[in-house]
Structure 1
Amino acid sequence: MKRALITGVTGQDGSYLAEHLLRCGYEVWGLLRGQPSPHRSRISRIADDLKFVEGDLLDQSSLVAAVDRAQPDEVYNLAAISYVPMSWQQADLTGEVTGLGVLRMLEAIRMVSGIGRSGTTSMAGQIRFYQASSSEMFGKVREVPQNEDTALHPRSPYGVAKTYGHFITRNYRESFGLFAVSGILFNHESPRRGREFVTRKISRAAARISKGLQSELRLGNLDAVRDWGFAGDYVKAMHLMLQQGNPGDYVVGTGRTHSVRDAVRIAFETVGLDWSRHVVCDSRLVRPAEVDLLCADPKRARAQLGWEPTVDFDELVRMMVEADLERAEREQRDVARAPTEPEGDW
């Protein structure tokens, strides 16, 4: 039985990947920092099937101990400070976790594997490493669509940190012979997406407004264009990358673009509302340096991995809205059951 260690296991991608690997017959370990996580509900359904080990991307020794204990065949590094606006507020921490955290994990793998500074001549029996790179590395794009050879020009502390992680992964592959790959994933969403991300912000608002729980939705740049897919599809590409004969980097996306405005329209249509009556454009929510057009060229992933997305954009948005409608209905019931304050004596 193969073993896999996932950092960020309580996140959107980590939860879908853990489920996928369990279905593939893996023993799955999740790296946790020790303190309670508000996102553990994402893995509650499979928690009894997982093993956990403590570790922190800020602490090199804890990563060495975690890798040594789990003895994984594969390590998937999905942990990061991944919300772009937050990376502007906590740029230093973003660099430490999202950037240098990759280096610390690579070093842990190298040390546990006993690979010296001179590298190794064989990848047989090695721990294989997946790094979650990001389309945000392309930033101020030089060409459309973007492929594995497109020049990188990140436009946020998050994008810069991901670029460091991407290149240090390549450096360890070339310098030490590690089986280390990067998946350059374009935007991928699901009902498990955090509320702070724009797609989930939209789906949740549409659902809550339709139930009378919210009156308006404030957004920044409605014309920003992205290549959006389903997270459940994308984790399968991660797994496929580590099953190849040789390591390499792969762009993963649908090759089709939609604007934030498109997502808003579909979400509000799903609940039978006119979005223009509920959405307010707020200039304070526009990024300091906007990334306007990201579109994947996933030819390599399709040809070499045999990977294809299965959920289209309209279906994805409707899926998210329907899940948030269920949540909104539960919220309504909770409000209805809440005790009222006694009137007291007048």
Structure 2
Amino acid sequence: MTGVSIVGAGLSAFGRQPGVSGREMAVQAIRTALADAGLEWSDVQIAFGGSDGSGLADTLVAELGLTGIPFTNVKNGCATGGSALVSAVNAIRSGSAEIALAVGFDKHGRGAFAPLPEEWGLPAGYGEAGLMVTTQFFGIKIARYMREYGITAQTLAKVAEKAYANGTLNPNAWRRTPMSAEEIASADMVNDPLTRYMFCSPGEGGAAIIVASEAVATRLGGRPVSLLSAVTRTRGFGTFEVFAPAIQGIGAPTSVSTTAAAAAFDAAGVRPDEIDVLQLQDTESGAEIMHMAECGFCEHGEQEQLLEKGATLIDGSMPVNTDGGCIANGEPIGASGLRQVHEIVTQLRGEAGDRQVPGSPHLGFTHVYGAPGISACTVLAV
């Protein structure tokens, strides 16, 4: 199978950017990725990308150049960026291209996301009854988890505190003001046990990743990062679903994140305990806690002890969301997964500045989870 390397990574600023469209953020990210790779737009042979609500990615060629390449639109919820990357990787591995682009972008307004039940295979009455509000499903899931495994509300606040602290070290982050665990815990309740500062917010931003064959990566030189695996998975029977009125089957709910992470590790030939730096979906702070175990980095219920030891801090044994994650960066749906990959590339190259993980990390992992039950994961190496 043809090896695949990331040869270029680009990011726009994240957060509110008045007067700047989602498309403009995408173009900025792409041009930055091209410059990082030492390539021109005319060198890109195939592209995949998408956004949730900021337009069709293929139309970006109007600004980038009408070179006639195949450009496929991807729309896969929070896994849009990850799915675009999987498509780009498959294009390289199949031999249909040697240089491919994955791009994701979005520009969301203030407030919560406003999904339409009809687009999710649900009757209109489901939304009219107030059941299309994602925050309540995340609240329900972490409340059950806390009860089952003895996780405290203070631990939720500590996860968010870390996110804001890491955000202060990231020049592209939206939330760059530190907040104490006490401030976070005492803020307005959104959905018990999650307060307003434990959640990410719909945001703005663009991210782009350029992948290439081994031959091209060797020719370009530069600072390639090997993409050992990139996978997506959808939920199985009994998996926890956002928007589901009940859990299917009996017993504890399963997780699509577990399935996707296991597939990524298996394809890469590495174990979770070998990973030096990782990105986990943190739609809210409870998600990061649950995903630590769901993705295989600890046993269920061990998270509180690990956080007490500082394991997930930048200089800890298991650095998580070193760029501040979704909590500090916000969530422009199309861009989030590729933002994660960008951060791991930056860390593995040793170019993360004040937020650099010490000890020259050489293996990284990314994970996204999106409604109603989809996950995308990658394993990267230098």
TM-score normalised by the chain length of structure 1: 0.26
Larger-Rg structure:
1
Task: Answer 1 or 2: higher relative contact order, Cα 8 Å, separation at least 6.
Answer: 2
TM-score normalised by the chain length of structure 2: 0.24
Question: Which has the larger share of helix?
Answer: 1
